[in-house]
Amino acid sequence: MAKKSANPARQVEVFVPPDAIGQQIQVIRGVRVMLDADLARLYGVPTKRLNEQVKRNAERFPEDFVFLLTLAERDEVVANCDRLARLRFSPNLPYAFTEHGAIMAANLLRSERAVKVSVFVVRAFVKLRETFAAHRELAVKLSELESKLQDHDGQIGALIDAIRSLMAEPRGRRKPPIGYHTETKRRK
């Protein structure tokens, strides 16, 4: 449950479903990140203010917390996400925040909403990490099963060949007559 502030004029109730946040998490450069515009919207601040705080506190944001997208990366993100179409003509390249960078940004903003939403952001990152781990385990198990099936296919093929060779009529040998026969030839 969200807490209410002591000052009724400043009550901030926040609930953001982790699934809604999870849809805003993208993989760029092999890392799960949220773009500055999405993070700013969640934290209830303008993107410009969020980016100002990042620039003013650069020592708190190493490369594994936040990085600036390249022009090609921005174009790819815009092409893949309709909600980010407004970034296409922006003169500034967007920042990409990792899970730790998103938390650090919430701490710098010092707004009650940012602090509360950061909990939901972390939960979304954790849920996504668990989902990826489950998929990775499933992929490994499927690979193991596939290799076993390939081994079994070879063994089954050999078994079928052996059965066919047993079923084939022997060549060059005459079959003995079937039934009861008396010897008709006399011995000389």
- At 160, the pLDDT band (50, 70, 90 cuts) reads confident
Q: How confident is the model at residue 2 (pLDDT cuts 50, 70, 90)?
A: very low
Cα 74 to Cα 89: distance, rounded to the nearest angstrom: 10
In one-letter notation, the amino acid at residue 33 is V
Question: Per-residue pLDDT for 67 more than 90?
Answer: yes
pTM to 2 decimal places = 0.56
The residues that bridge with 33 in the sheet, in sequence order, are 26
The answer on pLDDT for 111 being more than 70 is yes
Q: Could you tell me the two tokens for 51?
A: 């980016």
Coil, helix or strand at residue 93: coil
Helix H or strand E encompassing 67? strand 66-68
What is the arithmetic mean of pLDDT over 164-173?
Answer: 71
SS3 173: coil
Compute the mean pLDDT over every residue in the chain, rounded to the nearest whole number. 77
The shares of helix, strand and coil residues in the chain, as percent rounded to the nearest 5, are 60, 5, 35
Query: What average pLDDT does range 142-152 have in this prediction?
Result: 74
Could you tell me the sign of the dihedral formed by the alpha carbons of 29, 117, 128, 104, in that order? positive
**pLDDT value of residue 186:** 52
Segment of 91-95, 133-137, 142-146 carrying the highest mean pLDDT: 91-95
